[in-house]
Amino acid sequence: MQAVMNAEELSSFMMREFPQVSGDFAIEQLTEDGIVMRLKVAERHLRPGGTVSGPNIFALADVAVYLAILSRIGPVALAVTTSGGIDFLRKPEAGRDLICEARLLKLGRVLAVGDVLIRSDGLSDLVARANMTYSIPPSR
């Protein structure tokens, strides 16, 4: 499906609608079937022991699928997560941002399903894998 919002428009949407977290994430690239995003890891994302916390890894997956959906349907702020699951596979490398590749497996009228792979920047081993389902409001 063709993108209707580009990376700049998605970033502006995030700054407008979610200013409290928009600076944590960066869109690296829109792809044919999804999006590549970065979590700009900072001290506030770390848990004791110096690794990125699970909730922050989950947030990266959630935001990535959300923006992948919006890139295809436009700025529908009320699209919401209805289901999410994550497998934490290994500890992220200290001092590296996290990169996620989210792809939309299904984009229907009322539901969207995405699959997400997360790695430490520059490394090939997976840190986490997630699946997310979103409900899309009927107004689109």
Express each pLDDT in 25-83 by its tens digit: 999 999 999 999 999 998 889 888 888 999 999 999 999 999 999 999 998 778 899 99
> Which fold is adopted by the domain 7-135?
Thiol Ester Dehydrase; Chain A (3.10.129)
Residue positions counted in the chain: 140
* C-alpha R_g of the chain: 14
d(CA 81, CA 99): 21
Tell me if 2 sits within 8 A of 29, measured CB to CB. Answer: no
> What is the structure's pLDDT at 48?
84
The whole-model pTM stands at 0.93
Helix (H/G/I), strand (E/B), else coil: 3: coil
110-133 residue pLDDT tens: 999 999 999 999 999 999 999 999
Sheet with 80-88: list strands edge to edge.
Answer: 25-30, 34-39, 98-107, 111-120, 126-135, 80-88
> What is the structure's pLDDT at 97?
96
Residue 3 has pLDDT above 90, yes or no: no
Tell me if 12 sits within 8 A of 72, measured CB to CB. Answer: no
